[in-house]
Amino acid sequence: MPFRAQGCILWYMFRLLVVDDEEKERNGIAGLVRKYAYPFEIFQAKNGMEALGMIRESSFDVLLTDIKMPFMNGLELIKEIQKLGNWMIFIIYSAYADFEYAQSAVSLGVLRYLLKPITLSDFRKLFSEVEALCLNKSGSEKEELHELFFNLSHGASEKSGQNRIVKMAKHLMMVNYADPNLSLSFLADKLNISSAYLSSLFKAETNRNVSAYIADLRISRAKQILKQSSLKINEVGEAVGYLNESYFIKLFKNREGVSPVQFRLQGGEGE
């Protein structure tokens, strides 16, 4: 989970292994991860056999792999990783819209089966979700989140597991922070509870408003992007859910004491 210090949410760095026999494809994924400053240290392998050797030597949080590769394909690689008992998020991206491949991927617990070429919007949505899953990768907590989502979607009492409702709301904020539509009503709709109930519950559990938490989350992410990328200020704002550049700059300055440009020029230090 992210932890808080002086009102900010801090991101950990995670380890991403990109596996593809095409160097251009690997570098393209790595370039996008770096461009948007997602918190991943990137490693590359040109086939499944090489990737498996790396995984035996070191741990990784996320595997993003092509299917058709020499020596060992992506599905075979995932099966071998599972034999090792390693916890990883599995993502397949392939040029083949093959039903049998997709069916096999589902049976192996693959998070996403993406078709090449991956659109920028799909990529950013995927990595926002992967980022949140990595931050919430404690096994017991994942089970709680899945159980809560199931109960809420099947009409269980909204008053059961109140702490878990707040956890799920935070999880949804982590997954959807880049969505301009993220709001109290957005979260309440996803959790199948009333906005008023979620608002009061969240305030009671955290002593903070949902809107303030969303803003903290977004500004913290924006600070990371400003420090680790060369994106324009409007692009940074859009990457964290603010389509209005002026509003983003004003909000950032109110919270950090400096504008986004000043923050970047000062090497990532506010007032």
Please choose, from the candidates 173, 193, 265, 184, the residue with its C-alpha nearest in 3D space to the C-alpha of residue 226: 265
CA distance linking residue 176 with residue 180, whole number of Å? 9
**36 shares a domain with 10:** yes
Asked if residue 152 lies in contact with residue 187, where contact means CB atoms within 8 angstroms, the answer is no
| Domain edge (last residue) among 135, 155, 175 | 135
- Mean pLDDT score of the chain, rounded to an integer? 81
**156 shares a domain with 95:** no
Least confident of 52-56, 83-87, 238-242: 83-87
**103 shares a domain with 26:** yes
| Domain edge (last residue) among 135, 164, 184 | 135
**131 shares a domain with 153:** no
**57 shares a domain with 131:** yes
Please choose, from the candidates 43, 42, 45, the residue with its C-alpha nearest in 3D space to the C-alpha of residue 23: 45
Statement: residue 51 has pLDDT above 80: yes
Please choose, from the candidates 29, 38, 18, 86, the residue with its C-alpha nearest in 3D space to the C-alpha of residue 58: 86
Domain assignment present for residue 71? The answer is: yes
pLDDT at 12: 59
**151 shares a domain with 111:** no
User: Which structural domain range is residue 18 located in?
Assistant: 3-135
Q: How confident is the model at residue 70 (pLDDT cuts 50, 70, 90)?
A: confident
Cross-strand pairs, 64:
18, 91
The distance of Cα 224 from the centroid of its chain, to the nearest Å, equals 14
**What CATH number does residue 64 fall under?**
3.40.50.2300
Q: How confident is the model at residue 250 (pLDDT cuts 50, 70, 90)?
A: very high
Q: Using a pLDDT cut of 70, give the percent of the chain over it.
A: 82
pLDDT at 111: 80
Q: How many domains does the chain have?
A: 3
pLDDT tens digits for range 130-155? 887 777 664 445 445 445 444 544 44
Return the higher-pLDDT residue of 161 and 45: 45
Please choose, from the candidates 103, 77, 76, 96, the residue with its C-alpha nearest in 3D space to the C-alpha of residue 17: 77
Which segment, 29-33, 142-146, 176-180, is predicted with the most confidence on average?
A: 29-33
One DSSP character per residue, 139-174 reads: HHHHHHHHHHHHHHHTT--TTSSHHHHHHHHHHHHH
CA distance linking residue 8 with residue 86, whole number of Å? 31
- What is the pLDDT averaged over residues 201-206? 90
**176 shares a domain with 110:** no
